[in-house]
A and B are shown apart, each in its own frame.
Chain A
């Protein structure tokens, strides 16, 4: 009896309560060729068996159903729970689309506007200086225009990131030095009092380009988080809970890994350097090429809720969010955004910049297919003769090698998670193409 009670208790702890559960269905009944879908797994098994990723979970969803799930490994390479669709991963930059959704919700409710100036919320941003290209060797210039919320949501504000993400120049090195927006891992020499205080501190550093003139991946979405807190007078975590996580039953999505969540939260790893490899001695059949990233999220409370990268969650939860996006703002009877907001969310917001704008940050491949909406990358199919662009899917990814796509045309959603930082293996294109092929067959 005692064992039974303990077993029931363990089940209770392991399974997220009141979470939305996607029904698993035979893909053939949904019009997908099952054999084609099964080829997805090999893409990740090779990386896992070579010891290059610690584990993985990949889910494909359509029509609110789970049509494919592949997984391998445990929350730690030393053992622990086997990973599955309910395992909690650090989502990192996959936080950004969710925070963007919240901004559009506030706009929909008339509480703010994308064309508001940032200085309306944080006056410190009224007179920004620009260090062109992030370089301090040139003379600083006064910003030609003020930063708006639209600049923030589209990463055209002129802000940048730390060098380890894709930060630019001396300015990015200052971000490193100060640990700017380091909610999860604050600089011990510069504790973060609040998100608002951090937003004000950031205004002291110059921009790397004039607002609206170039695309620079940045801490802009962290600033949007600070604005949400100011407008709603709630902590970002609480507001997102209220308008997104609770309605969509995303019960495993959180900014704070509490002790109760710890056992089903995956550890974060980094690729071992060749020198580190020589000192590894894992007792495993898999030749791990990984070392712990040294980010102990499990026993720390974040200093603030990072809208740019602070969320943890399961792929099942994230699929619920993306299904809402694929459904035009509503899922499971809960409407999160209206059609006007959804149009704003997904439309091209970087028409003035073109695809070339993404070369510097993400390389020439990205510059051949990418544009950006208010929160999502837009993967384009480009007609080589006419240069006409059509959206293939919407996407983004996280610093610990999580990624997703949403194809609103064929109503498919894919979510992938492992825990490797920096992220090295983004197979969105390959997997989305396999799913497309499974539909055609």
Chain B
């Protein structure tokens, strides 16, 4: 308990308070994102909280939740514990890059060096390709989703392998709820026994690779993922609320997740098109969580305060508060570079992440929006960097005006992809 208090104190003194208190010369209009307000008022979005920062501190914050509805909606406060879902991925990837910088592992090593059960990966089908030896899955593959894994169908994966993951509880809702009485090591071992959805190195396929990465880090560094996350991210970056495990103490602060309510209403006006999401019920099982599943790829939790720190860190080129670079120079550059070579085509993410159809991806799990909209293989200039979770939450870094932002919402799955609109609005306001 005392330790948690000190994390908070440290975070407040060193990071949050200065951001909050800085006087600001640039200006954004009051409530600059009317499209977010409209989505809440019309009942498409239960709530949101958005914060935009620049080099002088916090530019604006805007938060709303539907009030007085049939479905009670929790406000997302700055300290609320929010399920990051896929926003977990950039954090876990940066943890991996830090450990690479510290020499615990290397990007082009085979995963099997740390997890021998992945030594002989095989495909789902029994066609010719499956009988050939597949190339080894590398650590880099895990960072950029080219390992050949699928995403669990419960978490919006699709295809036969995704369905198998759902049936066999491979990093699905059970894991995110801490209901599965299996460790990260045990689930990763079971995953090694299942076929791949695609050949390693051949295709970008959004997947549970980041979860496997979490297990690789445990073996490479010899410590649990929780400890590594705390030691290398939470403490040095001052993100005290960042965690892979929800204990009883945090339950009260968890922001409710909602899911779309699929119903027909023949009447005009606003109505709440969502209901409480039951897949991740927040019914976590207390303090003794050492033996339950965690998901480094989809199961991290953090607060808005934490995520503001995180985007500040990204915006500042990953320099720690003490001035020390977080990553080696080479890795630091790659955080903002497209990581897939020309063999993946001009629109490599298209078939896996529809909203990111024209975008590239870096080893930090940051999507790269090309400037002229034609895709990245044309050596396009970068427009902005972002990542977005299936709950509608997202982060972005816009180097054109040195801003960064966090949007937290809690609708899963959300069909609203709001980050580009918010980036555009900030740019227009700052002109």
Q: Which residues of A contact B (CB under 8 A)?
A: 92-93, 163-166, 217, 271-281, 289, 358-360, 362-366, 369-370, 377, 379, 395-399, 403, 421-424, 426-429
Contact = CB atoms under 8 A, between A and B. Distances in A.
B354 A278 contact: yes
Contact of A423 (B70, B265, B269, B354): B265
B104 interface: no
B192 to A, nearest CB: 24
B265 A278 contact: no
**How many of chain B's residues touch chain A, expressed as a range?**
20 to 34
B70 A363 contact: yes
A421 B263 CA distance: 9
A363 B266 CA distance: 12
Contacts of A397: 265-268
Nearest to A93: B266
A429 B266 contact: no
A277 to B, nearest CB: 4
B344 interface: no
A398 to B, nearest CB: 6
B157 A422 contact: no
B69 interface: yes
Contacts of B353: 278
B264 A428 contact: no
B69 A364 contact: yes
27 contacts: A93-B264, A166-B263, A166-B265, A217-B266, A273-B156, A273-B413, A273-B415, A274-B415, A275-B153, A275-B413, A277-B354, A277-B415, A278-B158, A278-B353, A281-B351, A289-B415, A363-B69, A363-B70, A363-B265, A363-B270, A364-B271, A365-B269, A377-B267, A395-B267, A397-B267, A422-B262, A423-B266
A371 to B, nearest CB: 11
A375 B328 CA distance: 71
Contact of B271 (A272, A365, A427): A365
B239 to A, nearest CB: 27
B269 A403 contact: no
B275 to A, nearest CB: 12
B272 interface: yes
B352 interface: yes
A358 B271 CA distance: 11
B69 A362 contact: no
Interface in B252-279: 262-273
B103 interface: no
Given A274-B156, A366-B271, A359 B70 contact: yes
A274 B414 contact: yes
B355 to A, nearest CB: 7
B323 interface: no
B32 interface: no
A166 B415 contact: no
Contacts of B195: none
A281 to B, nearest CB: 7
Interface in B137-189: 153, 156-158
Interface string B347-364: 000011111000000000
Contacts of B267: 358, 362, 366, 370, 377, 395-397, 426
Given A274-B390, A279-B351, A164 B269 contact: no
Contacts of A395: 267-268
A279 B264 contact: no
A281 B354 CA distance: 9
B158 A279 contact: yes
B262 A277 contact: no
A153 to B, nearest CB: 15
Q: Which interface residue of B268, B271, B273, B351 has the most chain A CB atoms within 10 A?
A: B268
Nearest to A166: B263
B418 to A, nearest CB: 12
A426 to B, nearest CB: 5
A362 B265 contact: yes
A358 B156 CA distance: 34
Given A274-B413, A279-B351, A421 B264 contact: yes
Contacts of A379: 268
B424 interface: no
Contact of A164 (B69, B263, B272, B355): B263
A399 B270 contact: no
